[in-house]
Amino acid sequence: MMRFHTKPHQRWRLAFIAVYFTKILDSLTKKILEKNIPLLGPAILRSPSYTSIDVQDLHVSDSNGEDDDDHQPHLPFLNIDQKMLTEMVRDKDYEHLRQFGGIKQLLSVLETDEKAGINGAEADLLHRRDVFGSNEYRRPPKKAFFRFVLEAFNDTIIIILMGCAILSLGFGIKQHGVADGWYDGGSIVIAIFLVIIVSSLSNFRQSRQFQKLSSETSDIKVQVVRQGRRQPVSIFQLVIGDIVCLNIGDQVPGDGVLVEGHSLKIDESSLTGESDHVEIHEKDNPFLFSGTKISDGFGTMVVTSVGMNTAWGEMMSSIRREQDEQTPLQARLDKLASSIGKLGLAIALIVLVVLLVRYFTGNTVGDDGKKEFNGSKTNMDKVMDSVVRIVSAAVTIVVVAIPEGLPLAVTLTLAYSMKRMMADQAMVRKLSACETMGSATTICTDKTGTLTLNKMKVVEFWLGKEVMEDDTYLGIAPTVLQLLQQGVGLNTTGSVCNLPSTSVPEITGSPTEVAILTWAVVDLGMDIDEQKQRCEILHVEAFNSEKKRSGVLARRVSDRAIQTHWKGAAEMILAMCSHYFDKGGLTKVMDDDTRMQFGGIIEDMAAKSLRCIAFAYKQVPQENGQSHESLEEIGMTLLGLIGLKDPCRPGVRMAVEECKEAGVKIKMITGDNIFTARAIAMECGILKPDEDLNNAVVEGVTFRNYSDEERMEKIEMIRVMARSSPFDKLLMVQSLKQKGHVVAVTGDGTNDAPALKEADIGLSMGIQGTEVAKESSDIVILDDNFASVVTVLRWGRCVYNNIQKFIQFQLTVNVAALSINFVAAVSAGDIPLTAVQLLWVNLIMDTLGALALATERPTYDLLKKPPVGRTKPLISNVMWRNLLAQAFYQVAVLLILQFKGMDIFKVDEKVKNTLIFNTFVLCQVFNEFNARHMEKKNVFQGIFKNRLFLGIIGFTIVLQVVMVEFLKKFANTERLNWGQWGTCIGIAALSWPIAWLVKCIPVSDKQFLTFGKS
């Protein structure tokens, strides 16, 4: 009874405790929400599904003051909503950013520091990828091999061949029954199958190769700050929270928010289609989108979304990138193949008509010597059999006439060349550039990094009119030294990182910035962090290739004094100056005589191939009410002049000579002054010391101000353009194209994009090139070396040359086969070469021949010839000479065998036909050697360097022996004895001395036939 009364009492006590505890929790929740809402926003810490409370992380220490090893590790980002971060940037929602507490608090939430970046440890990077995802987007499914097979079936040539196969099968079975009648039609089907498989495999491999190339192109390097160090990382390794350094021409690697920026402008056309550039600044519009490009200024950003959480990732995941581009050469070859096919159809039609007329007029005699057609006396079945046989002969001629190997040859050549060029430091972005480069007549090249090593070092320093040696640096006045340190430390896009593990600071940036910072740190004793702490930057004028200078407006923290600092091309900075400092720190007026003296110092440095950089400053009066939106450009005081040495690349002089020997003109276009440009051009061999340089060297402004007539008159003589702007480079390209030149242009900057697009072949630099320049180019030179440009030129000529070799070889086969069958059919009413035999010849010549001749590597001999014009016919006079000579020889030999072979060799008709077939095939094998060199008499030169060629020749011979000796029924052949084999080989081998003699015959420059002209 007592126990019964206590149960309700206990329940009331439990209810009281639950209510009391809930109120305490509610109170705690309100406190933590009030504390964290300004930081994280209500959407993060409170939702209908849960309420969060603040649980303190208590460190339990033992008596020795050591932390308990078993305490729970810190797991960041658990309360961060990725969707909210994504929407904040996508919608440019500044209110949402304010709820985070601004950019500073956002950095705190993402556990990153605006100066030091993220921790960067492997565990930290892995955790960030686990929580927010990696910077990769889902790619559409790859095109399956079966799709390529279906596309190959849709080819017009294949459809015609399929029609021939069906007809041949029908006629064969009608004449000889199923057991023996399928051979001709079946062989055509097998040939079609092999062509489709080889073509599909080639296209499939090329597609995979393009996808791999696309991935390599997308794998750009991004400058990030991790653990206080500025370092390059792959764009795919980027994580949320990374601090990214942005400069002109860079691609924004992920969605994010600007941390600090100066004169920053973004090209968002890749996302929005709008061509107007968008200004980005911390106060009103700090949001940056992945995939956009920096068009001006520089700055740093914090990454808030990567991969599929960005608009760029969503867009790219829906785009299938396939290499479906048809190059001009492929288009010309398709046209050529179509023309040859039409010619074959015409000949087949003539043969069909002639044979039908011969038959029905009683001029066709059978094996028994009697007429095959005797009017109404002839059995209808026999008439049908004869008509079927005649139609089969016409179909066979059509089959042999169609050069299905031509498109395959160019595909193999381009795919092989792309792969090999990658190994030779050239990444092909557009297939057409491979062949167009072979026609290049002029190369417009940059100087810095292309002709030179781009490893700069300050080798000369002038303070006032006095050159400073290493032992005189200590005598520089402290005020001048401090201003120089400010001028370098504040006005730079590079960085200096003092690592605790080493006494040598880590300096990063462009080669010019690295050289200047190294000089300032080592020789002037500059501490860049100290300079940035002492001054507050108010405004920055970023460097661009138009102004060729950069400036900064800064306020000293100590006395609030405002100073303007400029750095840039020496003569341009000198023009802004009215005073200069001497070594002792005295300010002196710069009169005309002094200005001329400084001009002489700059010219002397430039004559020694030095790049001249000047520093100037001006104290800005506080009372002038400057708005801090622009920098003073007059009345500056010159702080000093430095000369940077950038040595020429080893081998560049030889590469320039090779281009000249190849008939390709080199024009150097540089932003350096005219004296430096002339000195470097002399050093590289572009200019000769003993020639007239008045018209060979010109400044950009002079070239720009020429009249159209004057420019077109002088452009051939100009070889060096100094102090050029991107517009001048574009104007040069346009003028050269108007003169009929095929122009290749190198470029690395964002402003080079118009010239790269305008040129016939745009060559961007893989190391120093911006992403904008690379996207505008056709080929990326991976090592920035001019010698690699010459390698690309050699490969371009090699592609064209290999295609021409194959055309010569292929047409020899076609002309000979068509001629022998046409003459034999018209004169004797029968053809010596069966469909199976002709298809075998076509197959080994098309597929194996294409593979053998398309994979010849470029030789230096290719650069001893003038450029091949793009409008010149594919089949040159030299090719006509070679192929007609070989075709006439083969036709003559085969016709002798056709009409006199049985008497000469004392054999029956079947053995005679086998001799004709064997001799014809062996003639092609020997002629394949002749095709290796169209003009050179020694066709065996370099033969052992191409093992694939020798392997294919050996494989072809083995297959031919099998066809003759073992596949007698299928190939309609008879076994030959050793003497007959020797005779066939001897006749075929005569093609070598004939080719040697024919190459002694000179050819006219006037085109014999314009077959295959563009």
Buried b (16+ CB within 10 A) or exposed e, 325-361: eebebbebbbebbeebbeebbebbeebbebbbebbbe
Which H helix or E strand runs over 535?
strand 535-541
Tracing tokens 């040159």 back to the chain, one arrives at 876
Which H helix or E strand runs over 34?
helix 2-40
The answer to whether the beta carbons of residues 429 and 731 sit under 8 Å apart is no
The answer to whether the beta carbons of residues 725 and 425 sit under 8 Å apart is no
Instruction: Give 764-817 as a 3 state SS string.
Output: EECCCCCHHHHHHCCEEECCCCHHHHHHHHHHHHHHHHHHHHHHHHHHHHHHHH
| E-state strands within 630-740 | 636-645, 665-669, 697-699, 720-722
C-alpha span between 576 and 637 (Å, rounded): 8
**Tokens encoding 730:** 């574009």
Neighbouring residues of 482: CB distance < 8 A, sequence distance ≥ 6: none
Helices H / strands E in the chain, number of each: 36, 28
Neighbouring residues of 570: CB distance < 8 A, sequence distance ≥ 6: 602, 605, 612, 613, 614, 641, 673
Neighbouring residues of 819: CB distance < 8 A, sequence distance ≥ 6: 887, 891
Burial class (CB in 10 A: 0-12, 13-18, 19+), 74: exposed
The answer to whether the beta carbons of residues 142 and 323 sit under 8 Å apart is no
C-alpha span between 297 and 566 (Å, rounded): 15
C-alpha span between 15 and 860 (Å, rounded): 96
Q: Is 723 left (phi over 0), alpha (psi -120 to 50) or beta?
A: left
Neighbours of 429 (CB within 10 A): 18
Tracing tokens 């004869």 back to the chain, one arrives at 386
Question: Of 184, 255, 267, 446, which one is the catalytic site residue?
Answer: 446
Q: What are the distances in angstroms from CA 85 to CA 88, 305, 653?
A: 5, 7, 54
In 587-631, which ranges are continuous DSSP H helix? Answer: 592-607
The answer to whether the beta carbons of residues 519 and 478 sit under 8 Å apart is no
Tracing tokens 């790619």 back to the chain, one arrives at 139
C-alpha span between 75 and 59 (Å, rounded): 15
- What is residue 938's DSSP assignment? -
3-class DSSP state of 271? helix
Residue 446 annotated as catalytic: yes
- Residue 834 corresponds to which amino acid? T
Query: Which of 286, 205, 296 lies closest to 246, judged by CA?
Result: 296
**Tokens encoding 913:** 């036909």
C-alpha span between 876 and 452 (Å, rounded): 39
Residues listed for the chain: 1014
Concatenated DSSP letters for 449-495? TTTB----EEEEEEETTEEPPGGGGGGS-HHHHHHHHHHHHTS-S-E
C-alpha span between 452 and 610 (Å, rounded): 12
Active-site positions read: 446
